[in-house]
Amino acid sequence: MVAVSGPLLAVAGYWALLSRCGGRARAAAAAYSSVPAVSSRGGKQKEASTRRTSRPSQLIRSHAPPRTERMAVDQDWSSVYPTAAAFKPASVPLPIRMGYPVKRGVPLPKEGNLELIKIPNFLHLTPPAIKKHCAALKDFCTEWPSALDSDEKCEQHFPIEVETVDYVSAGTSIRNPKARVVTLRVKLSNLNLDDHAKKKLIKLVGERYCKDTDMLTITTDRCPLRRQNYDYGIHLLTVLYHESWKTEMWESEKTEKDMEEYIWENSCSQKNALDTLLRIKASENASNVTKEELLASELTNFSA
Amino acid sequence: MGRQCFLPNNDFMGVRLAGIHADTQERRTNPLVSISDEPETLYKRLSLLVKGHDKTVLDSYEYFAVLAAKELGISIEKVHRPPKKIERFTLLKSVHIYKKHRVQYEMRTHYICLELKHLTGSTAAVYLEYVQRNLPEGVAMEIKKTKIETIPEHIQKPVWDTLPEVEETQVKS
């Protein structure tokens, strides 16, 4: 009890002293308020009032000047943005504004602008940076052979064209099922085919041959991999080529309706013409019954 | 770098020789380049179709791709912009009933087509990898390669001339 009352009395005594001394003590307390050890109660009251109005110093980030202020005009920009990165307003020394402006206002500045961060930027691909990259990549490139200048020369030496398609897109999977399609194109004039072989090949192939450009197009996509489709396409071409050179026994039964072009020799039109001419000759001079060979020679003169 | 150079025009030592690609010896001195014996594939035409939702992004990408092709020495046939395609669909605005009130959405796809010609296999691989690695987000690409080849050996001549005579077996019908 005595120990408790001691400090209470001391406190009471302190307050009594303050109230008694009045202005002088208060002035003294105010003078000593900056030193927290001496006038603890006055200092705490002051701190409490300041805490309500401004935030504590730990939560305020130090406002260091942005990096743009220390950037030289002739700096190496490819070291600031070497790879694709988001837009950092403190690293880009440009006064960019983006956003829809309010009425009679301007677009928003770059600080904290989400629109500038969202859009893909090409800050890492400035022309000097592209030139640097290409200079480093040039060692891995090879020259196109200078002898193959035009399309005609390419076709003369390399007649087969193989067309493949690659697909690049963002998604859960990098695979695209359309990538396995392979298209082979050849001009039949470049293949070693004789007349019969060419006609048979065109009949075998059907719609895949275009008569105007003399181009055979084989599109394969029945295999799951592109290389397999390419091999299958070459296999088809080989089989077609060799089968067209074969002459089967039933090909001798080819009728006039199966012919691709009209052949006048041994056709009914020639027979009819010969018959008519024979009869004319027979009616004109009964003695001059010439042989069909002579008429044939006349007819060849007419038809030629 | 005190390297012995036996080329007549380089008599000062310690100079970086990278970047001079006219000499084959320069290519060999680059440790990353390896030359293989297999013949080069030849691409008559390389067609890049770039698709995106934002036209300005595609324009920037086109500038980058064209400059990269020029720097690597690739001839550009033409650069054209096929017309954009808009896919629209109409949905009901409300979760339940209110059939007369709908909302419409659309997706705009812009295209840029870059046609390059006369590329070798290694040049095409280098260019495509560079250009595809720097493809921006939200942009897709379709690459159509037209490779030219010689006629394979087995299609040069019909095989029936070289095969030995085989007695034909009678087909019994």
Residues A157-191: pLDDT tens digits? 888 999 999 999 888 998 999 999 999 999 988 88
Q: Do B57 and A190 touch (CB under 8 A)?
A: no
Each residue of A222-237: pLDDT tens digit?
A: 999 999 999 999 999 9
pLDDT at A167: 92
Residue-wise pLDDT for A67-88, tens only, equals 888 888 888 899 999 999 999 9
Q: Tell me the β-bridge partners of A187.
A: A215
A127: chain B residues, CB-CB within 8 Å: 67
Q: How confident is the model at residue B79 (pLDDT cuts 50, 70, 90)?
A: very high
Residue A58 is predicted with a pLDDT of 64
Q: How large is the average pLDDT for residues A20-24?
A: 48
Burial of residue B171 (CB within 10 Å: 0-12, 13-18, 19+) is exposed
For residue B28, what is the nearest residue in chain A, using CA coordinates? Answer: A139
Band the pLDDT of A36: cuts 50, 70, 90. very low
Rounded alpha-carbon distances, angstroms, from residue B25 to A129, A137, B5, B33:
27, 17, 10, 11
Q: What is the pLDDT of residue B4?
A: 40
Q: How far is CA B115 from the centre of its chain?
A: 10
Instruction: Give percent of chain A above pLDDT 90.
Output: 31
Q: What does A155-223 look like in DSSP terms, one character per residue? A: HHH--EEEEEEEEE--SS----GGGG-EEEEEEGGGS---HHHHHHHHHHHGGGEETTTTEEEEEE--S
Best A81, A140, A218 residue to mutate vs chain B (most B CBs within 10 Å)? A140
The answer to whether the CB atoms of B145 and A125 lie below 8 A apart is no
pLDDT attached to residue A267:
77
Note every long-range contact of A45-52, with CB atoms under 8 Å and residues 24 or more positions apart, other chains counting. none
- The predicted pLDDT at position B74 comes to 92
Mean pLDDT of chain A: 79
Distance, CA of A81 to CA of A124 (rounded, Å): 5
> What's residue A295's pLDDT?
63
CA distance B110 to chain A (A): 15
Token representation of residue A47: 């701190």
Alpha-carbon distance A219 to A61, whole Å?
65
Give the burial class of A208: count Cβ atoms within 10 A of its Cβ; 0-12 exposed, 13-18 middle, 19 or more buried. middle
Give CA–CA dist A258/A253, Å, rounded.
10
**Distance from C-alpha of B23 to C-alpha of A173, rounded to nearest angstrom:** 43
pLDDT for residue B94 is more than 50: yes
Bigger pLDDT: A22 or B111? B111
Q: Quick check: A40 pLDDT over 60?
A: no
Residues A113-121 have a mean pLDDT of 91
CB contact under 8 A, A142 and B120: yes
Is-contact A184 A161, C-beta < 8 A? yes
Residue of A nearest to B47 (CA): A165
Contacts of A130 in chain B (CB under 8 A): 64, 67-68, 71
State the pLDDT confidence band at B166, using cuts at 50, 70 and 90: low
CA A72-A74-A79 angle, 5° bins: 85
The predicted structure's pLDDT at residue B19: 33
**pLDDT at site B172:** 55
Average pLDDT over residues B78-107: 95
Task: Say how far apart CA B50 and CA B70 lie, in whole Å.
Answer: 18
Q: Is A256 helix (H, G, I), strand (E, B) or coil?
A: helix
B108 or B36, which is more confident:
B108
Cβ distance of B146 and A144 shorter than 8 Å: no
Give the pair of three-digit tokens for residue B146: 């037209």
Count CB pairs under 8 A between chains A and B. 151
B30–A139 C-beta distance less than 8 A: yes
Which has the closest alpha carbon to B61: B49, B72, B44, B71? B49
Q: What would the mean pLDDT of A96-100 be, rounded to a whole number?
A: 91
The better pLDDT of the pair B168, A115 is held by: A115
Nearest to B58 by CA among B106, B108, B111: B111
Alpha-carbon Rg for chain A in angstroms: 50
User: Are A63 and A90 spatial neighbours (Cβ–Cβ below 8 Å)?
Assistant: no
The distance from CA A135 to its chain's CA centroid, rounded to whole angstroms, is: 23
Higher per-residue pLDDT: A267 or B85:
B85
Query: According to the model, what pLDDT value does residue A196 have?
Result: 87
Give me the residue from A131, A158, A245 closest to B160, CB to CB: A245
Chain A CB contacts of B64 under 8 Å are 122, 125, 130
8 Å CB contact between B109 and B53: yes
* Residue pointed to by tokens 């020369």: A153
* Of residues A100, A99, A131, the one with CA closest to residue A117: A99
**Across chain B, what does the average pLDDT equal?**
80
A196-223 per-position pLDDT tens digit: 888 889 989 989 999 899 899 999 999 9
Residue appearing with tokens 């019954």: A289
Are B60 and A122 a contacting pair at CB < 8 A? yes
* Binary contact (B71, A122; C-beta < 8 A): no
Res A286: pLDDT? 58
Q: What is the pLDDT of residues B42-57, one digit of tens each?
A: 898 999 999 999 999 9
Q: Do B141 and A168 lie within an 8 Å CB cutoff?
A: yes
Separation CA B46–CA A44 (nearest Å): 78
CA distances from A74 to A78, A132, B47 (A): 12, 17, 38
For residue A191, the chain B residue with the least C-alpha distance is B156
Q: Cβ contacts (< 8 Å) between B109 and chain A: which residues?
A: none
Please report, for residues A13, A202, A231, the alpha-carbon distance to residue A160 in angstroms, rounded to integers and kept in the order given.
Answer: 112, 17, 14
Q: For residue range A243-302, what is the model confidence (pLDDT) as tens digits?
A: 888 888 888 888 877 788 887 777 778 788 878 877 877 777 655 555 566 666 666 666
Mean pLDDT for B113-131 is 92
Q: Would you call B137 and A191 a contact, using CB atoms and an 8 Å cutoff?
A: no
State the complex-level ipTM.
0.74
User: Which of B62, B72, B162 to substitute to test the interface with A, most A CBs within 10 Å?
Assistant: B72
Contact residues for A30 (Cβ-Cβ < 8 A; gap 6+): A42
Closest by CA to A112, choosing from A93, A98, A94, is A98
- What gap in Å lies between CA B79 and CA B62, rounded to an integer? 9
Q: Answer whether B135 sits within 8 Å of A163, measured CB to CB.
A: no
Mean pLDDT of A11-29: 48
